[in-house]
Structure 1
Amino acid sequence: MEALTDLKAILHSKRANIYYLEHCRVMQKDGRVLYLTESKKQNFYWNIPIANTTVIMLGTGTSITQAAMRMLASAGVLVGFCGGGGTPLFAGAEIEWLTPQSEYRPTEYVQGWLSFWFDEAKRLEVAKSLQLQRVTYLRQVWAKDRDLQQMGFNAADAGLERALNAYESASGGSQKVGDLLMYEATLTKKLYQYAAQTCRVQDFNRNHDNVDLPNQFLSHGNYLAYGLAACTLWTLGIPHGFAVMHGKTRRGALVFDIADLVKDAIVLPMAFVCAAENATEQEFRQQVLQKFTEHKALDFMFDVVKQTSLQAAWGTSS
């Protein structure tokens, strides 16, 4: 049996896999974590490469053994129980995630984050910085992604460029987080309109309760991004409650702040592309995860959070 300490170490920022499982049982067998699917005639075991996995989402009809959870924790894999299609997330130890219990994560990043967090002015400066990096990442992804370009997404589109420039300008001049959230909502609405028009999706209206494909895919993809964000924050030792934008009503809102860095660039366009192609939920999930890997979304999250945490000073103390 392979010892837990023999697992090949892969940095979390370089891990490639997120799993969404349903109607199966996750267990430990012969030193590996497997999931078991049952059929009338035969049962099938499938291996989960835990050393290269960031997040496992357990959907409808799933269970997990204590031994499997122990091995996942040893490999630093976050686990979340969720509804069908990956949404919504249910209870866990850290917001909605069952996080490994490790006391040997770095302390410099949480100390750096807290060094500015209790100053409202500095917190606002960090929120502005995250929004600018969010727009920069969107421009980079859309400018080089051939699949999106073939579907008509054009990073140099005049209307899109005006919307992004206006958002950058308005965000930079924001005097409070409420203004920033308002500008963000305006930009997101324009991006929805642009994506719907580009992919010829008729009568789209963003509603989390709607069951049309674009809304389903947006919700599903957002939760995949939340998984990456939660993994980033857990690895760097930063509690999810120290948000800079969304923390008024949700204890774990920092997950949403960090996930926003990549949602508009990848999840949003792919939701409309896959809806236009009438893709299945599994096909959409595979394409989004492929884009996360292709555009190094997890690396980008790690770089931004680390850079933000270690910034010498943010803004001016009020």
Structure 2
Amino acid sequence: MKDLSPSDLKSILHSKRANIFYLEYCRVMQKDGRVLYLTESSKENLYFNIPIANTTVILLGNGTSITQAAMRMLAQAGVLVGFSGGGATPLYMGCEIEWMTPQSEYRPTEYLHGWMQFWFDDEKRLAAAKVFQQARINFLQKVWQKDRDLKNEGFDFNNERIQNALTTFHSRTDAANKQSELLLTEAQLTKALYKFAANSTNTENFTRQHQSTDLANDFLNHGNYLAYGLAASCLWVLGIPHGFAVMHGKTRRGALVFDVADLIKDALVLPWAFICAKENATEQEFRQQILQAFTDHKALDFMFDAVKQVALQEYTAEETEAQP
């Protein structure tokens, strides 16, 4: 079988790619011009193909290994690789990020240039953070008003408690003078959403704990890390380093990944974590559900659009002023 060229592998835009893989207890390798993973059993060895041209992220969990040749092909296809603990969540810390990104000097520069134009200005960076906050609420509204399955489970955007929480959120966001105030406001909204989700799914005595062993917390950790994978891929494709955050701390490694992932977590990960916990779903069933939700609601597309909007806002203003 003839090896595919890097141009062939990149024929599908990242924003349109459908697959995220979490693998455990297997060996990832290159064979006959394809990337495969091998599972070993007492009776036979089984090979499974990974469609890397249509893949965004591969997470390697417990008991995995990967060959140099496979990494070369994944890099050519622009696939991010992450090492995680069991269940696609980090092994040691609930919010740590470690991604192995393809090395390419041919990504666009306009988004990084646009980002740098505002990032060193405290007021402009705060304004960008507020744009992100508004975008996440817009996405929450769009998803919860459209998704019939979520509505059937009681996740109604027009619910009085949700609207009261959003009213407080908007007023405090508009009045915020620094990032720490935005983070506090965000945390208060998320706490209200947790309470609403727990009530809607009859989850008793829920407390958000990253190291907890109850299903709702486990699924939240799991789904959040999948969202981090999408965010890291988005930023890599656009050429914006993960350290230039607008919400989380400027010195926190990978902070911009958290900012971008937050755009979709409340709308998709949060409700499905509680719903799947109520149904006593397995990790695999939850993962399939959340990945399908990402695809149905075009979560990665939305991330790209939101980041591009913030990155190019200065350019757009200048172009508008320059027109006769």
TM-score class, shorter-chain normalisation, is over 0.9
> What SS does structure 1 have at the residue aligned with 2:100?
coil
Cα distance in 2 for partners of 1:75, 1:291 equals 24
- Equivalence for 2:4: 3
Deviation at 1:247, TM superposition (A): 2.2
Indicate the percent of aligned positions where both proteins have the same amino acid.
67
- Given that 2:114 and 2:315 are in contact with CA atoms closer than 8 Å, whether structure 1 keeps it comes out as no
| CA displacement, residues 23-78 of structure 1 (integer Å, 9 cap, x when unaligned) | 00000001000000000000100000000000000000000000000000000000
Residue of structure 1 in register with 2:159 after alignment: 157
Task: Report the counterpart of residue 288 of structure 1 in structure 2.
Answer: 290
Cα distance, 1:159 vs structure 2: 1.1
Cα contact 1:78–1:231 (8 A) shared by 2? yes
Is residue 125 from structure 1 mapped to residue 101 from structure 2 by the alignment? no
Decide which moves more: 2-11 or 101-110: 2-11
Quick one: structure 1 residues 170 and 313, their matched pair in 2 at CA, closer, same or farther if it must change by over 3 Å?
farther
1:222 aligns to what?
224
C-alpha change, 1:128 and 1:8, in structure 2 (3 Å) is closer
RMSD: 1.7
Kept after mapping to 2: 8 A contact 1:25/1:37: yes
How far does residue 151 in structure 1 lie from its aligned partner after superposition?
0.8
Letter in 2 for 1:294: D
Cα 1:95–1:211 change in 2 (3 A) is: closer
Corresponding residue for residue 321 of structure 2: none
Deviates more, 1:243-252 or 1:141-150: 243-252
2:240 matched residue in structure 1 = 238
Q: 2: distance between equivalents of 1:42 and 1:305?
A: 46
Unaligned 5+ segments in structure 1 are none
- Following superposition, the deviation at residue 170 of structure 1 comes to 1.1
1:80–1:90 Cα contact (<8 Å) kept? no
Structure 2 stretches of 5 or more lacking a match? 318-324
Q: Distance between the aligned counterparts of 2:309 and 2:192, measured in 1?
A: 29
1:162-203 deviation line (CA, Å, top 9, x unaligned): 111221121011011111111111001000000000011111
How does the TM-score come out when normalised to structure 1? 0.96
The offset of 1:249, in angstroms, is: 4.7
Give the equivalent residue in structure 1 for 2:201.
199
What is the alpha-carbon distance in structure 2 between the residues aligned to residue 247 and residue 188 of structure 1? 18
Alpha-carbon distance between aligned partners in 1 of 2:307 and 2:242, rounded to the nearest angstrom: 12
Which runs of 4 or more aligned residues in structure 1 lie more than 4 Å from their structure 2 counterparts after TM superposition? none
Q: Is the 8 A contact 1:116 1:314 kept in 2?
A: no
Q: Which amino acid aligns with 1:227?
A: G
- Sort the Cα spacing of 1:109 and 1:251 in 2 relative to 1 into closer, same or farther, 3 A: same
- Structure 2 residue corresponding to 1:302, chosen from 298, 301, 304: 304
Aligned residues: 313
User: Map of 1:83-102 to 2, 5 A cutoff?
Assistant: 83-88=85-90, 96-102=98-104
1:63-212 counterparts in 2 under 5 A?
Answer: 63-88=65-90, 96-212=98-214
292-301 vs 155-164, which moves further? 155-164
What residue is the counterpart of 2:320 in the other structure? none
Match of 1:251 in 2: 253
Contact kept, 8 Å, 1:20 with 1:56, in 2: the verdict is yes
Aligned to 1:262: 264
Q: Contact conserved, 2:10 with 2:77, CA < 8 A, in 1?
A: no
Contact 1:34 / 1:45 at 8 angstroms: preserved in 2? yes
Counterpart code for 2:3: E
Rate the CA distance shift 1:160–1:149 in 2: closer, same or farther, 3 A: same
Give, as a single letter, the amino acid of the residue that structure 2 aligns with 1:4.
S
Instruction: Quote the Cα distance in structure 2 between the aligned partners of 1:103 and 1:245.
Output: 27
Kept in 2: contact 1:33–1:47 (CA 8 A): yes
Q: 1: CA distance between counterparts of 2:253 and 2:280? A: 36
Q: Distance in 2 between matches of 1:127 and 1:7?
A: 34
